Amino acid sequence: GDSVTQKQGQVTLSEDDFLFINCTYSTTTYPTLFWYVQYPGQGPQLLLKVTTANNKGISRGFEATYDKGTTSFHLQKASVQESDSAVYFCALGSNTGYQNFYFGKGTSLTVIP
Amino acid sequence: GPKVLQIPSHQIIDMGQMVTLNCDPVSNHLYFYWYKQILGQQMEFLVNFYNGKVMEKSKLFKDQFSVERPDGSYFTLKIQPTALEDSAVYFCASSPRQNSGNTLYFGEGSRLIVV
């Protein structure tokens, strides 16, 4: 079945550091890939999404490329800020079943000022 | 952006009692979901709902759980009876159409504590 894997449970960086959060997926279909961000005490909100393989999504300085060859959708940001501290979820929107979404376990980012 | 409202935001309940969590989805959305999250970690799918029916549910959606949306009002998750392991934050989400490209819009969550 469809699944999403995020290997990093926690990431701690200093301001202006480069961010890389790993995400790989498994599917037999042609999914849409998402990154959601969840701030403390809030629900997840969409950060970016990409519907077509080999395309890149960009939002608020974050970017992720839908790489069908490596089945990856890693999240990157050139220079993080303290306000980026949150939990980041990689997700897959599947064409099978009834619009199931599959979330990774989440990566908690802490940015130290 | 589109807003999903959840009521209550917090509830403490005695084990064995019934609880109803309410969700007011985005007005033109047709697909509704409940997710369970423990300790700010993984979002775990419970159930999705369309056209008055449960379309898919996970193993976490126990027999004590039920969902409904009577007459286009709140989309509700009812747990009866509650158990200690039901303590979690429950997120409602909605989306407009059945298409993998559609974004899920989440509410702020209902924190349930079963004591």
CA B111/CA B87 separation, integer angstroms = 8
Amino acid in position B26: V
Strand pairing category for B88-95 and A19-21:
unpaired
pLDDT in tens, A41-50: 899 999 999 9
Q: Are B13 and B19 in contact (CB under 8 A)?
A: yes
Which structure tokens are listed for A43?
A: 């629900």
Q: Does A44 touch chain B (CB under 8 A)?
A: yes
How many CB atoms are closer than 10 A to CB A18?
10
| Residue linked to tokens 């775990």 | B44
The whole-number pLDDT of residue B28 equals 86
* Residue from B79, B95, B80, B100 nearest B36 by CA: B79
What number is the average pLDDT over the span A57-83? 97
Query: Which residues from chain A sit within 8 angstroms of residue B101, using beta carbons?
Result: 32, 49, 51, 93
* Residue from B34, B57, B21, B60 nearest A43 by CA: B34
pLDDT in tens, B45-63: 999 999 889 998 999 999 9
* Residue from B67, B82, B48, B12 nearest A100 by CA: B48
Whether residue A96 has pLDDT greater than 70: no
Whether residue A97 has pLDDT greater than 70: no
Share of chain B above pLDDT 70, in %: 97
Query: Which residues from chain A sit within 8 angstroms of residue B106, using beta carbons?
Result: 43-45
What number is the average pLDDT over the span B59-70? 95
Q: Does A31 touch chain B (CB under 8 A)?
A: yes
For chain B, the residues whose C-beta falls within 8 A of a C-beta of chain A are: 4, 31, 33, 40-43, 45, 48, 50, 55-56, 91, 93, 95, 98-109
